[in-house]
Amino acid sequence: MTTRIHPTAIVDPEAELGDGVEVGAYAVIGAGVEIGAGTRIDAGAHVRGPATLGRDNQVCSQACLGFDPQDVKYGGEPTRLVVGDRNRFRELCTIHRGTAAGGGVTTIGDDNLFMAYTHVAHDCRVGSRTVFANAGTLAGHVEVQDDAVVGAFSSVHQFCRVGRHAYIGGYSVITRDPLPYVKTVGMKPACYGINRIGLQRKGFSVETLKALETAYRVLVRGKHSVPKALELLRGLEEQPEVRVMIEFAEGSARGLIRDLPGGGRGGVG
């Protein structure tokens, strides 16, 4: 495959482009950037290094990847952005490198969709097959696990963790950890049950959905403390998805979102 670079594009001599890479008009590829085979950098996009992009990614017009972190403590230390394969970064999306204090690397997995105006800040770790709707925003040091959805105009506070298959509704403000498989929605976010329709579309079995419903009732609606709820869930640990929920809750540093719609508390402690 032939690499194609538009005559108006600027590609630093120290950048490395794989087979079949396309660079559009007025795009800029900086030093220390490695771009895998089949990736397309559209007109006006800008990728700075050090950054590594895998195969078959699409970076749309005016998207900016690998820029310096927006952290006042950043002093020019060498940090990186590492992106996997088959991701789509739509128009005006921004993804920043890590900071030395945060481990030095921002990572993006495979097969993610970042819609227009989305932002991933320094030292974030995004898994695979996630969807970020328009203007979804991560502060620094956020972890978003596989298959999660971040709704339009939603923001996630630094150091939060978003669980696997979690669904964050539009215009939500996330300051604690949203549970895996659960719909979390609102400026004062509340839990609206497991994301049954989304999970069905992804092929989850009836038995798995029933187990997750039971886990949700115990952990969110059961009025138990987290330790007590997890103790009650031990009998369901043979179900892998329930085990994921238990391990996520055990690893929460900022606390879990367990509030109910209307301001009710879904648990204590």
Catalytic residue among 30, 109, 140, 186: 140
Contact 93, 117 (CB under 8 A): yes
Q: Are strands 4-5 and 22-23 parallel, antiparallel or unpaired?
A: parallel
How many C-beta atoms surround the C-beta of residue 149 within 10 A?
22
Check the CA dihedral 67-70-76-81 and report its sign. Answer: negative
Among this protein's residues, is 140 annotated catalytic? yes
Query: Which DSSP helix (H) or strand (E) runs through 160?
Result: none
Both tokens of residue 48?
A: 């700075």
Among this protein's residues, is 122 annotated catalytic? yes
Both tokens of residue 151?
A: 């709704």
Task: Look at residues 17, 55, 19 and name the one whose alpha carbon lies nearest to residue 34.
Answer: 17
Query: Which DSSP helix (H) or strand (E) runs through 136?
Result: none
Catalytic residue among 46, 96, 122, 141: 122
| Cα angle 119, 160, 34; round to 5 | 45
Task: Look at residues 190, 146, 187, 185 and name the one whose alpha carbon lies nearest to residue 164.
Answer: 146
Q: How many separate helices (H) and strands (E) can be counted in the chain?
A: 4, 28
Which residues lie closer than 8 Å to 105 by C-beta, 6 or more apart? 79, 80, 81, 82, 97, 98, 123
User: For the chain, percent helix, then strand, then coil, each to nearest 5?
Assistant: 20, 30, 55
Catalytic residue among 71, 85, 110, 123: 123
Residues involved in catalysis: 122-123, 140
